Amino acid sequence: MNEQILLSIITPVHEPDPEAFQRTVRSVIDVMQDNWEWVIILHNTDSLTADDVLTLAGGNESVRVFSKRDNVHAPWSPRNSALTKARGKYVYFVDHDDELKREFLLPALEKMERENCDILIGSADKELADPDLFEVPTQLDFPDSAEGIIVPDDPDVRGRLLYGAAIMLSCKVIRRDLIVENGITFDPDILLTEDVLFALRCYAKARKICVMPRLVAYTYVQNKGSLLQRMLKEDSFPVEVYTEPVRIIVNLALESRISPSGYLWMMMGMFTMIYQKSSMSPEKKRILMAEIQKYIPLMKTGNRRKQQA
């Protein structure tokens, strides 16, 4: 690894909205430091070239753009490719339609270097493009501490890392060696909550995790064109696409001594929206609700997540 590169920012790009992508580029370039790099993967994209992106980035020499074409229609492919190209001590993911907050990365990295953290998690703002969308929870289930919280090795406390902002890729900085040494990648067989599975695998191997609730990492833009929102409204996905990730994530959480309760509360909200508003067939809806209800014994009551639901 090139020791001079402290941070690799990773962004998969697939046919982005021009205005949103320009906003993302401005927000990243605004915070770039000399010892950082930005790894961009143009994935099955015809509307942009590498030269276009470099022009938008003002010719910044720390921006590295790669093109990838395959038959995959999900972000796991470009994210995994970017991880093989990243050279930084730490990695940070930001999507092509999200706005990075300039006050997050520098203090986050300083805290990680000072405390020797494997993962640092901040909070998120959100922007809902349509009031009819499923509103993904962005709360942090941790006290509002200015100094930050070192997460203890306790199943219930670590379980709070599977809810809200803590599962979002753009809310966390991760030590790259943690990912590489443990062979952690984005699972090609999971479409729904694949970011949760990636985060959980990192949490299970991390020695030290820090949460800084007062550091806002980015603005999470929720729009109807996202894969998640389409999956919650359409009837084109097999029922196993929804149920298998829940089974895998819950089992891994239990094996790793991490409570899956927060994740299950979130999935209950998603499946309820599908039941109420999607075009999915009644039989599929019945199966989904029956599947999620199997996990009710693992869903702790009387906690902050229930109050926020």
**DSSP state for residue 254 in the 8-state scheme:** H
Q: Where in the chain are the domains?
A: 1-100
pLDDT reported for residue 303: 44
Pair of tokens at residue 69: 């074409």
pLDDT reported for residue 145: 84
Alpha-carbon distance of 112 to 174, in angstroms, equals 9
Q: Give the residue among 181, 15, 161 at the shortest CA–CA distance from 83.
A: 181
Quick: pLDDT tens for 31-40: 999 999 999 9
Alpha-carbon distance of 49 to 27, in angstroms, equals 20
State the pairing for strand pair 119-128/209-222: parallel
Alpha-carbon distance of 247 to 252, in angstroms, equals 9
Q: In b/e form, how buried is each residue of 67-87, taking b as 16+ CB within 10 angstroms?
A: bbeeeeebbbbbbbbbbeebb
Region 267-288: mean pLDDT is: 90
pLDDT reported for residue 234: 83
Quick: pLDDT tens for 107-165: 999 999 999 999 999 999 888 767 777 777 888 999 988 789 999 999 999 999 999 99
Contact 173, 90 (CB under 8 A): yes
Exposed, middle or buried: residue 17 (CB in 10 Å: 0-12, 13-18, 19+)? middle
Alpha-carbon distance of 64 to 39, in angstroms, equals 5
Structure pTM?
A: 0.91
Alpha-carbon distance of 138 to 214, in angstroms, equals 13
Phi-psi region for residue 190, left (φ > 0), alpha (ψ -120 to 50) or beta? beta
pLDDT reported for residue 296: 93
pLDDT above 90: percentage of residues in the chain: 73
Cβ neighbors of 150 (< 8 A, separation 6 or more) are 115, 208, 209, 210
- Which of the pair, 98 or 83, is modelled with greater confidence? 83
Region 213-218: mean pLDDT is: 93
Pair of tokens at residue 39: 């790894």
pLDDT reported for residue 32: 95
Contact 228, 117 (CB under 8 A): no
**CATH no. of 1-100:** 3.90.550.10
Judged by average pLDDT, the poorest of 23-32, 128-137, 232-241, 299-308 is 299-308
- Tell me the Cα Rg of the chain: 19
Contact 222, 270 (CB under 8 A): no
Contact 218, 125 (CB under 8 A): yes
Alpha-carbon distance of 49 to 42, in angstroms, equals 8
- Which of the pair, 303 or 134, is modelled with greater confidence? 134
Region 277-305: mean pLDDT is: 83
